[in-house]
Chain A
Amino acid sequence: MRFPLVRSAALTLAIVLVMTVAGLTAPQTTTLEFWTISLQPFFTDYVNGLIADYQRANPGVQIKWVDVQFQAIEQKLLAAIAGGVPPDVVNLNVEFTVRIAEKGALLDLDGAVPAADRARYFEGLWGGTRFRGRAYGIPWYIAPPVLFFNSDLFKKAGLNTLNPPDTEEEMVAAARQIKDRTKAYGFMPLIDGTRLMHRFLENGLPMLSADGKRAVFNTPAHVAYLQKYVDLFKGDYFPDDTLRRGFNGAVERYSAGQLGMLLVGPQFLLRIKESNPEVYAQTFVGPYPAGKGKVIHAGLMALAVPKASKHQQEAVKFALFVSNDENQLEFSKLPGTVLFPSTKKAAADPFFKQKGAGPEFKARAIAADELKSGRDLTVVVPNQSELYKIFREAVESAFFGKMSPKEALDWAVREWNARL
């Protein structure tokens, strides 16, 4: 009886030891949650492929992908951070990144990303998410806007479809002509909410003093610029829901064939093609009609890492993988896509200069050319939401006749300076 007992004990001990050693040597699985903005359904296969590649190369890491609608991303992220279950890598635009970074909720990526990796990105883009001297987002992709125009409406208005407006002034003149001759609206200028700030900056009209400590957007030039659009509004040269519906309204109206010109990122071609193939067929593409500043606001998408992530190092590594040269290039090359990489090597690929039939090719070539003047012009200020709200109120006051453009901008500048 004793022998079997000793043998059983030894066997048990051996099993325990083997299992312990196995447990120690078995790879620990780390699960990273990755949030993107509105990439489903168009890019589902691409992102899944990206994840599969990463998991294959990093056996201990599992990626859980969650795609969130643009309108919901900020609140969902804040709720997740507050609930202690943040994603590890999250796709944000510059405005959201700065707003959340201001609360101290994002990882400082100037510190977390080695200098050699940072150098792979365009310097201007890497600094796009900088708040108080630190960057909080790894640049992912960028889409400089182009001009789409409805060739049918252009012809009816007597405009030359081979010679689209080249400057903002020419675009305004074309919009007037379209409205006067066809009764359809020529454009919905992007002046709703805070977008007028981008227009100011595109025209070389600064929002802040050089040291960033004073608001300066009430000079006679700023006032004249706003007055021009107030006059167009009063003359019914753009729809009166422009201020409320912004570029979503513009895309909808254009897709319905009721708008002459549309200024959006080239990726919106997909949406137009899907919602109205007839309008897509009439769509011609031209360069973005530049303002006097020779700079174009190009929305940047970045990848941020919440400070509350339990796997910060792994998260940064994954974000760098997602935005590396090969993966960004593959993303840009997907059929029907017109996005641009944020890394220098990927952006230099001959693919972006290729010529072909269809507006996508033209849009890609035009946007590639615009990259040199494209910058994310989001105005980075403390108390961003409050200051933006004041600006919006001032602009709407001017459009709805509650104040003159001068009074409105003077008031907003005073309010900003009291808070900066």
Chain B
Amino acid sequence: MPLRRRSTLVAYLFLLPALGLLAVFTFYPVIFGTVLSLFEYDIINPPRYVGWLQFQRLLADRYFWIAITNSAKYVLVVPVIQLGSILLAVLVNRQLRGIGAFRAAYYVPVITSWPVVGIMWTWMYDQQGVVNWVLRSLDVIARPVSWLSHPTITLYAVMFVTMWKGLGWYMVIYLAGLQAIPAEYEEAAMIDGASRGRVFWSVTIPLLRPYILLASLISTMAAVKVFEEIYVMTRGGPFFSTYTMFMYIFDEAFQELNMGYAAALAVVLAAVILVFSVINFRVFRRGGLEWY
């Protein structure tokens, strides 16, 4: 066997285990789910082909519009979380004594499970919780607020928890990015008289753009697919104000047993994620040294 063909074969053999896993746990469910969206299926009775009916139905379904609007609103968390984690990464990107402890501390929420985080923040957001206590002590609010019981603020309260938990994760990505930027670029800009802010916006951020693309992409997908925090903290309430697409898919699939309809919703959600991903690529495509 020629050497070239042999090395190609070896490369494929190395890929095979990963491809096998992807085929079983990703490709097959994606294809199965897409096909399922054309059927009516309640787990107990055999599936019945209904064609595009599920997709027509969702256009007239008010809960679909509520859910997709809430999911789209949730994407607002992305710029905030990215900016926050870049600033955090800049803060911990120093050679100080004990900086490792700070980095680890910021990472603790990332490795804490959602049920624990959800329950902890539910207590903190309680009328007699620590959030109200702090805000009242600072005279920011006159009377305790039920952060998870008001339709106008609950979504944002849950978004804050998402941000709190995710900051450390993105901070690590940006920390890697910052450490990959040669110090000479920033030093050269400072020798040329640029202020710290100018260096940050004109040197650090452009060079970080490939990392921003990666982190924003992951963050946007996570925001559109948000589920755990909503499930643990609000179950979609009050008054459907936190009823996101994944909550709706979950309800349709496992409460109402409309597996086909849930699959149709999931297909639409995948399309929405695709649109947001394209936007991310368009915005952050140019980055690194290509920026200049």
Residues of A within 8 A of B (CB): 74-75, 78, 81-82, 103-105, 239-241, 243-244, 258, 385-386, 389, 393, 396-397, 399-400, 402
Instruction: Please tell me which one of the listed residues A104, A241, A389, A399 contacts residue B146 in the complex, with CB atoms under 8 A apart.
Output: A241
Contact B44 A244 (CB under 8 A): no
Contact A243 B237 (CB under 8 A): yes
Interface residues of B in 115-164 (CB under 8 A from A): 126-128, 146, 148-151
Residue of B nearest to A397 (CB): B239
Contact A81 B44 (CB under 8 A): yes
Contact bitstring B255-273, A, C-beta under 8 A = 1, else 0: 1110000000000000000
A5 to B45, CA, bound (A): 60
A75 to B238, CA, bound (A): 23
Contact B237 A241 (CB under 8 A): no
Which chain A residues lie closer than 8 Å to B181 at the CB level?
none
Contact A240 B149 (CB under 8 A): yes
Which chain B residues lie closer than 8 Å to A239 at the CB level?
127, 146
Contact bitstring B32-60, A, C-beta under 8 A = 1, else 0: 00000000001111000000000000000
A241 to B148, CA, bound (A): 8
Given contacts A78-B254, A81-B44, A244 and B240 within 8 Å (CB-CB): no
A29 to B255, CA, bound (A): 35
A105 to B255, CA, bound (A): 15
Contact B127 A244 (CB under 8 A): no
Contact A104 B148 (CB under 8 A): no
Contact B256 A75 (CB under 8 A): no
Interface size counted on chain B using CB atoms at 8 A? 23
Contact B42 A103 (CB under 8 A): yes
Cβ-based interface call for B234 (8 A): yes
Residue of A nearest to B234 (CB): A244
Contacts A/B (CB < 8 Å), 21 sampled = A74-B255, A75-B254, A81-B44, A82-B44, A103-B42, A103-B45, A104-B44, A239-B127, A239-B146, A240-B150, A241-B127, A243-B237, A385-B251, A386-B256, A393-B240, A396-B238, A396-B240, A399-B239, A400-B238, A400-B239, A402-B239
Residue of A nearest to B237 (CB): A244
Contact A105 B44 (CB under 8 A): yes
Which chain A residues lie closer than 8 Å to B44 at the CB level?
78, 81-82, 103-105
Contact A82 B43 (CB under 8 A): yes
A399 to B150, CA, bound (A): 11
Which chain B residues lie closer than 8 Å to A105 at the CB level?
44
Shortest Cβ distance from B238 into chain A, in angstroms? 5
Besides A78-B257, A243-B149, 14 new A-B residue pairs in contact (Cβ under 8 A), listed by A number:
A74-B255, A78-B254, A103-B45, A105-B44, A239-B146, A240-B146, A241-B146, A241-B149, A243-B238, A244-B149, A393-B239, A393-B240, A396-B237, A400-B238
Contact B256 A244 (CB under 8 A): no
Which chain B residues lie closer than 8 Å to A396 at the CB level?
151, 237-240
Which chain A residues lie closer than 8 Å to B234 at the CB level?
244
Which chain B residues lie closer than 8 Å to A240 at the CB level?
127, 146, 149-150
Residue of B nearest to A386 (CB): B256
Shortest Cβ distance from B44 into chain A, in angstroms? 5
A402 to B240, CA, bound (A): 12
Shortest Cβ distance from B289 into chain A, in angstroms? 51
Which chain A residues lie closer than 8 Å to B237 at the CB level?
243-244, 396
Residue of A nearest to B154 (CB): A244
Which chain A residues lie closer than 8 Å to B43 at the CB level?
78, 81-82, 103
Residue of B nearest to A384 (CB): B256
Which chain B residues lie closer than 8 Å to A397 at the CB level?
239
Residue of A nearest to B43 (CB): A82
Pairs A-B, 9 closest by C-beta atoms: A82-B43, A396-B239, A241-B149, A385-B256, A240-B146, A103-B44, A240-B149, A105-B44, A400-B239
Residue of A nearest to B66 (CB): A393
Contact A385 B255 (CB under 8 A): yes
A371 to B234, CA, bound (A): 35
Interface residues of B in 197-239 (CB under 8 A from A): 234, 237-239
Shortest Cβ distance from A56 into chain B, in angstroms? 35
Shortest Cβ distance from B35 into chain A, in angstroms? 17
Residue of B nearest to A105 (CB): B44
A82 to B238, CA, bound (A): 32
Shortest Cβ distance from B80 into chain A, in angstroms? 25
